[in-house]
Chain A
């Protein structure tokens, strides 16, 4: 009898614990309705620049297939490839093509993949509309303006180029939290995060626009889509004689501030996992809406066709 009480008590405790878990399971039971009833998990990891794009795709996809769980981690492009090549994720988000070491890593683990261009990314350098001298800036000039070494030294336009007037240089740009910052510093200063610190950083691109529109000698950088929305308040300079626009970014002539963003799809996930296949197909078919939503430059017709063909060959 005495023993029974102890056993009963411990059984009760375990039972209560199990009930608590079961109760929690219950409240989620109704979540997989709608769509074609497809269910499953799609795991993605990688670049924090591409993450907003895949997140936008996941948002839109959820409205179509609520039963499929898409998760988007952000370990960076390199970190993403690490788990992708270990076969841990279905899709890797990348802001650059896969490197040789990463290819070797994937091969040694028997992971086959397909590279898909998911969107185009463009940054523009903006100046005040009254600025009539800097209609074109070379990459060297941009480096001179933004390099960490220029901090406190390059403070006037005539130091950037002798032909420029004597006008104070004031700098605005994205803060460290944004993908724009990572991309700009890498493309112009050659190293992610390398930039002079005596500029006004803001995570809000509208503040950059206000700043540049308020000072004649101001210069700043931000995503291409913001320039089109704010024409008049600011103007974009061409870089190495190429005017930034959706077209020049799409055709690849606007370098180094225009680039392609990739998703890498695990082939066996695509061909064997219906949820993964359906999500990737949705991503490519709706790439224009996805890019618009995440404020990137959409794919061209050709790029979409290429992506479709790549996927079709996987079956």
Chain B
């Protein structure tokens, strides 16, 4: 097993461009360009981080988490937005994960891949992943209007829009995970007399849980950072209460940031920066969790 690991790691050693072997000008210019691209991407990130940290850190305190918004910046906090984000993301997860995983299992394990209908569905799922997020907001808005819902700024409405947004991502991530399970595992299971359903449920799905979890967490962290679809649904709202149910009004962190950035007073801009720091921390934690799950549980066949 150990020897196995060593060979697989040596396989992915970097190319060592610009090493001793290459002194010719062309590779060096190419190397320079690569470094430049990296620098541009990196400096944008650093500028962003430094800006919000410098502006936000002085007001980043426990008040930001525990206080309600206020018309006075020095008293304001983002508590309803934090709870709103929690509500919306959990509801989104509950709506999306069973549906997305089930759809992926069907497409990967049961559907006939040569059937034109299935291929069309597959193509559509890939296309949907590229649709601008605001479109999903409009779709959810139309759906709520059809149901004659008066107040569209409700947790379930926002969760619906975000579910539609990340469903294709979850489906694709799950399919990747299922595909990584070797054919032999299925064959062995079937040869021992298991039904296709037992094979999927007891062998294939458990084996692909790490990649499904990773993909799902990344998709949910994308949903957490979204503002556009929720803006269409009227989540840009000043709320001084905790959301307390699926039909409760809410606002989320990105929208609270948007709201505060648009205000004239400097104090609100600082709050927006501090809330951005908070959102970044949550997103980094989620991504770290995804990476941890991937590394800790991934199976090498």
Contact = CB atoms under 8 A, between A and B. Distances in A.
A41 interface: yes
B112 interface: no
Interface in B183-237: 197-198, 201, 234, 236-237
A216 to B, nearest CB: 27
Contacts of A20: 90, 94
A88 to B, nearest CB: 4
A9 B205 CA distance: 12
B98 interface: yes
B136 interface: no
A58 B240 CA distance: 8
A24 B90 contact: yes
B14 interface: no
B238 A71 contact: yes
A51 B242 contact: no
Contact of B264 (A24, A41, A75, A178): A178
Contact of A177 (B91, B236, B263): B263
Nearest to B237: A73
Contacts of A163: none
Interface string A7-37: 0010001000100110011011001000000
Contact count band on A: 35 or more
Nearest to B263: A177
Most chain B CB within 10 A, of A6, A69, A87, A174, is at A69
Interface stretch (B18-26, B115-123, B169-177, B243-251): B243-251
A13 B98 CA distance: 9
Contact count band on B: 35 or more
Contacts of A75: 234
A273 to B, nearest CB: 14
A209 interface: no
A6 B205 CA distance: 12
Contacts of B245: 25
B87 A24 contact: yes
B92 to A, nearest CB: 11
B60 to A, nearest CB: 21
Contacts of B69: 55
B153 interface: yes
A174 B265 CA distance: 11
Contacts of B238: 51, 55, 58, 71-74
A203 B244 CA distance: 35
21 contacts: A24-B86, A25-B244, A27-B242, A31-B241, A31-B244, A43-B249, A58-B238, A59-B71, A62-B68, A69-B240, A69-B241, A69-B249, A71-B238, A71-B239, A71-B241, A72-B239, A87-B150, A175-B264, A177-B262, A203-B265, A294-B71
Interface of A: 2, 5-6, 9, 13, 17, 20-21, 24-25, 27-28, 31, 41, 43, 51-52, 55-56, 58-59, 62, 69-75, 86-88, 174-175, 177-178, 180, 203-205, 293-294
The 4 tightest CB contacts between A and B, nearest first, are A72-B238, A69-B241, A203-B264, A178-B264
